[in-house]
Amino acid sequence: MPHDRTPPEHTTPEAAAPEGTAQQAPRPEATLETPASGRRTRRSRLRRRLLVGLAGVLVLALGATVGLLWLAAGRFVHPMDDTPLNTYVVASAPGRVTLPATTDSRYTGMFGLIWQDKETDLRHHGTLGPVLASDDETVTRELTSDLPPAPGAKAKVIVTIWNTDPERALGLTYEEVTYPGEFGPMPAWFLPGTGTTWVVQVHGLGAGRAAGLRTMPQLHDLGHPVLDITYRNDPGAPQDSTNTRHFGDTEWRDLDAAVRYARDHGATGVVLLGHSMGGGIVETYLQRATDTSAVRAVVLDSPALDYRATFDTIASGLGLPAPVAALQAGIVGLRSDVDFDDVDALAANRRGGGPEQPVLLFHGTGDTVVPYATSAEFARDWPDKVRLVTVEGASHTGAWNADPHLYAEELTAFLALHT
């Protein structure tokens, strides 16, 4: 009889353990990690943490940068008569003052000096003359002032030589007049003359009418009546609803009103003389006004012809990278509600076929605010209309200060030819 066989069952090692021996629970499979793979894992985690940290730092830095640029933009868009002081008085004596050696304090020519009394916070003004002595640390110059500044007083070298009116500064008889603006009577200085072609002077950002005092004696000697104007939101002038600078986008209408005032009071023609932003206002007026037939000629001094290039120049001077400069221009545009394409005089002249009136243009190669290159470009575009007078090393609107004799010669010849 055959012997029955049952196939043997497959047993695990645990099943085959001797009776009475405790069986161990199954162990999970172990994941073996080599030292190299462990290091890669740790590096990946560190890399992710670093990237997250860097992203956080960049966000914080960007936020801080935008905040600082927003505050800085306020200096451009809000009218001010408290020019920031950026240097100090090292020492002084009757007729002289010693300042730290800077580009501003080393400029040749005649300049103004403002300083602040530490006790009263009142500001004083004097006239800087020639350099008497200098070394690597300090510059000593002649100073004409009612009282010497105290050592340590905060100060600033400026192109505005006088900060008072034409009579007290120059002994010229003048009248305080107003012309009708969009928001009310606009203050202006009127200097009578023997001729009938008036010169309407338009100051730059934060400069005020005193900037025009430098050319008044010459214009008076030539017989030109002078109207030195304010525009909306200037200290002492009517404000619009924003009390904000608009870089010529709205201010040109005040110049338009001033030209009408001149014509209504006997002017048979006008010459427009604009400094810095005032030059931009002049150019915007010429592009937008319905009637510019009274304008015989135009004089521009360091004119703001391209505001984006201006902000690039300012940012470069501060050592800021190009993307920050572009961001600054955008923030200023946002705060002023101005599209800088709308007040780009270079582009506007190219679209319109160039200036209709002859232009005399002064610009210094040492300008760190409005780039000299924009004036050079304007002159290259329209060589038959624009005469560019380059003053080597001169600062922003400082061509007269650096070389008043050259300025006077060029201005006299230009006005004789075109008025």
CATH code of 283's domain:
3.40.50.1820
pLDDT of residue 303: 98
Q: Which two tokens stand for residue 39?
A: 């290091």
pLDDT of residue 10: 45
Domain shared by 260 and 310, yes or no:
yes
Residue 22, pLDDT > 50, answer no
Residue 64, pLDDT > 50, answer no
Q: Which amino acid is at 197?
A: T
Q: Is residue 202 part of a domain?
A: yes
Domain boundary among 100, 130, 158: 158
pLDDT digits (tens, 9 = 90+) for 378-415: 999 999 999 999 999 999 999 999 999 999 999 999 99
Domain shared by 346 and 221, yes or no:
yes
Domain shared by 285 and 355, yes or no:
yes
What is the extent of the structural domain holding 241? Answer: 166-418
Higher pLDDT, 49 or 256: 256
Domain shared by 408 and 337, yes or no:
yes
Domain shared by 118 and 172, yes or no:
no
pLDDT of residue 332: 83
Domain shared by 138 and 235, yes or no:
no
On average, the pLDDT of the chain sits at 87
Angle at 365 (CA atoms; ends 227, 383), nearest 5 degrees? 70
Q: Which amino acid is at 2?
A: P
Place of tokens 């934060």: 206
- Give the SS3 label for residue 179: strand
Residue 335, pLDDT > 60, answer yes
Domain shared by 328 and 225, yes or no:
yes
Q: Is 131 exposed, middle or buried (0-12, 13-18, 19+ CB in 10 A)?
A: middle
Domain shared by 239 and 265, yes or no:
yes
Residue 365, pLDDT > 50, answer yes
40-44, 71-75, 174-178, 244-248 — which is least confidently predicted? 71-75
Domain boundary among 133, 158, 183: 158
Domain shared by 223 and 150, yes or no:
no
For a pLDDT cut of 90, what percent of the chain falls above it? 70
pTM of the full structure? 0.82
Q: Is residue 336 part of a domain?
A: yes
The whole-angstrom separation of Cα 42 and Cα 225 is 81
Residues, the chain, total? 419
Alpha-helical runs (H) found in 265-398: 277-288, 307-317, 322-336, 345-352, 372-381
Q: Is residue 349 part of a domain?
A: yes
For a pLDDT cut of 70, what percent of the chain falls above it? 80
- Is the C-alpha dihedral spanning 362, 367, 372, 374 positive or negative? negative
Domain boundary among 132, 158, 184: 158
pLDDT digits (tens, 9 = 90+) for 165-199: 999 999 999 999 999 999 999 999 999 999 999 99
Q: Is residue 290 part of a domain?
A: yes
Domain shared by 118 and 251, yes or no:
no
State how many domains the chain has: 2
pLDDT of residue 333: 85
Domain shared by 376 and 228, yes or no:
yes
Q: pLDDT-derived band of residue 349, with 50, 70 and 90 as boundaries? A: very high
22-31, 45-54, 369-378, 402-411 — which is least confidently predicted? 22-31
Q: pLDDT-derived band of residue 33, with 50, 70 and 90 as boundaries? A: low
pLDDT of residue 21: 46
- Residue range 203-227: average pLDDT? 95
Domain shared by 151 and 171, yes or no:
no
Q: pLDDT-derived band of residue 42, with 50, 70 and 90 as boundaries? A: low
Higher pLDDT, 146 or 180: 180
Q: pLDDT-derived band of residue 93, with 50, 70 and 90 as boundaries? A: very high
